[in-house]
């Protein structure tokens, strides 16, 4: 009897190991397929234009052309584009973090009449497509005289219903007893928000920073509509302009694309721990 039980446990253990190995191999294959376009982009950025579309693909160039990464800065004002993109990303992310965390505190930690109804109505705006209010927003910015300025992008993107939802869901996982104890000690709601709630929500903050920063950095339609002069263009619009002027310089286009995604890759690499934790825990309690 004991031997039969031991064999059964051994068989289950072996089956578990085999299934985990198969899943691991499948994940490696899928990851390789997803990373292949990025590998081709990096490889092409170090080639001449003739070598980019050679078949079979030569993944490692014999003579890497590192000067492609230098020349791209002189063909277009890439430094200006990067400066504008960094300004928009940092400022909009900071504003969204402030407005979303502050609104989420009111929707989760303070009791007031109509709170849940207003929260539902606000979150419902996520379902409204951007194309539905694109024209009214443009007319509004034009009346304010903010078209072709970075302020138009900052004002339109400083508030996020999804950011409020994300922060609120994380706030709900924090025990209410902490806030009650702080109120008994005489701490105001602003003090509880700044000194207790925010320090405990680092994963949610990191998640919101990564999601917002990625969206703003990669945004194409917004800058295309509101920013027309070259001095205000972002990286995405600048690369599109470069493709229009030099549509045959594929190696330079690839070099510019690598430079464009590098900051996002570094940001996610250093904050991935908090990002995964924030996504995993933001839906625990509703």
Could you write out the DSSP letters of every residue in 143-195? HTT-TTSHHHHHHHHS--HHHHHHHHHHHTTS-HHHHHHHHHTT--HHHHIII
The pLDDT of residue 91 is above 90 = yes
When mean pLDDT is compared across 49-53, 65-69, 126-130, 262-266, the lowest value belongs to 49-53
The pLDDT of residue 283 is above 60 = no
Interval 239-258: pLDDT, tens: 888 887 777 788 888 888 88
Closest CA to 163 of 117, 134, 123, 130: 123
Interval 170-206: pLDDT, tens: 888 888 888 888 888 888 888 888 888 888 888 888 8
Percent of the chain residues past pLDDT 70, beyond the cut = 90
What is the rounded average pLDDT of the residues 63-81?
A: 86
What pLDDT does residue 97 have?
Answer: 92
Secondary-structure class of domain 68-281 per CATH: mainly alpha
Chain-wide mean pLDDT for the chain? Answer: 83
Q: Return d(Cα 142, Cα 220) in angstroms, integer.
A: 19
Could you write out the DSSP letters of every residue in 178-192? HHHHHHHTT--HHHH
What pLDDT does residue 210 have?
Answer: 87
Confidence of residue 285 (pLDDT cuts 50, 70, 90): very low
What is the rounded average pLDDT of the residues 1-22?
A: 67
Interval 110-124: pLDDT, tens: 888 888 899 988 888
The structure's pTM equals 0.81
């Amino acid at each position: 009897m004991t031997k039969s039980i031991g064999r059964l446990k051994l068989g289950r253990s072996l089956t578990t190991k085999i299934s985990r190995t198969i899943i691991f191999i499948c994940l490696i294959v899928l990851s390789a397929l997803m990373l292949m376009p990025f590998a081709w982009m990096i490889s092409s950025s170090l080639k001449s234009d003739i070598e980019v579309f050679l078949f079979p693909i030569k993944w490692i160039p014999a003579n890497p052309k590192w000067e492609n990464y230098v020349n791209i800065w002189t063909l277009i004002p890439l430094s200006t584009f990067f400066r504008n993109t960094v300004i928009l990303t940092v400022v909009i992310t900071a504003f969204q973090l402030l407005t979303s965390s502050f609104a989420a505190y009111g929707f989760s930690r303070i009791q007031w009449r109509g709170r849940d109804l207003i929260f539902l109505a606000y979150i419902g705006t996520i379902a409204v497509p951007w194309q539905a209010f694109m024209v009214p927003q443009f007319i509004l910015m034009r009346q304010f005289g903010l078209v072709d300025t970075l302020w138009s992008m900052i004002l339109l993107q400083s508030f996020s219903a999804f950011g409020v939802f994300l922060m609120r869901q994380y706030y709900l996982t924090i025990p209410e007893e902490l806030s009650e104890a702080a109120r008994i000690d005489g701490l105001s709601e602003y003090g509880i928000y700044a000194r207790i709630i925010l320090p405990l929500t680092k994963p949610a903050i990191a998640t919101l920073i990564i999601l917002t920063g990625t969206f703003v950095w990669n945004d194409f339609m917004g800058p295309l509509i509101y920013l027309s002069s070259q001095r205000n263009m972002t990286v995405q619009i600048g690369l599109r302009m470069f493709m229009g002027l030099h549509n045959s310089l594929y190696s330079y286009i690839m070099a510019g694309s690598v430079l464009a995604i590098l900051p996002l890759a570094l940001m996610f690499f250093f904050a991935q721990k908090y990002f995964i934790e924030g996504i995993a825990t933001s839906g625990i309690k509703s």
